[in-house]
Amino acid sequence: MDQSIQISKLNDFIFCPYSLYLHSIYDSFKKDTYQVVAQTRGTIKHKNVDTKKYTTSKNILQGTPIYCKKYNLIGKIDLFDKNANKLIERKYKVKVVYDGYKYQLYAQMFCLQEMGYKVKKLVIHSVSDNKRYNIPLPDEEDISKFEELISQVRIFDPFVKIDFISEKKCKKCIYYPLCDISPC
């Protein structure tokens, strides 16, 4: 059986597949060894959700562990409003809604659906400016792309040369100073 994929790794993989390998290497290190200010800020802002102290409302699931058998995905949701059937992914600062953000939401949605919840709305919430971005529910094409991403993550081999790394992305990567394949 394939190993479960952490939902948060889907966005990382799209950013740079090699970052998954580097994350597995540095995961046992203290975070301040490799995290930059933006990641530290995001971790701090996420603490209330992770510790279930964001709200006392009983209709809001927060920081709830989730699993999807169909895709063998594991993770946690940020917020799910059971009354509005709304799944909310919180990011510290959103300037652009990247595909990775959408795929994280889709993965969380599939998990919640398997757990018996109806998800009718997907939202990315930018904490720094309090903006919300409504994300359409996935259509067949979106689901096909999502499934292709899952397949690519499963077959990824960090020891096979990656020739599509973006210099611009490299410089924004938390592993940039530690990366042995960066073109920069």
d(CA 137, CA 153): 22
Give residue-wise pLDDT tens across range 20-77. 887 777 766 565 655 555 555 555 554 555 555 556 678 999 999 999 999 999 999 9
Give residue-wise pLDDT tens across range 66-105. 999 999 999 999 999 999 999 999 998 999 999 999 999 9
Radius of gyration of the chain measured on its C-alpha atoms: 17
Q: What is the mean pLDDT of residues 156-170?
A: 75
Under 8 Å between Cβ of 164 and 129: no
Q: Residues 72-111, buried b or exposed e (16+ Cβ, 10 A)? A: ebbbbbbbbbeeeebbbbbbbebeeeeebbbbbbbbbbbb
d(CA 116, CA 68): 11
Angle at 179 between CA 176 and CA 180, to 5 degrees: 145
Higher pLDDT, 181 or 100: 100
Under 8 Å between Cβ of 54 and 48: yes
Domains, the chain: 5-17+30-157 (3.90.320.10)
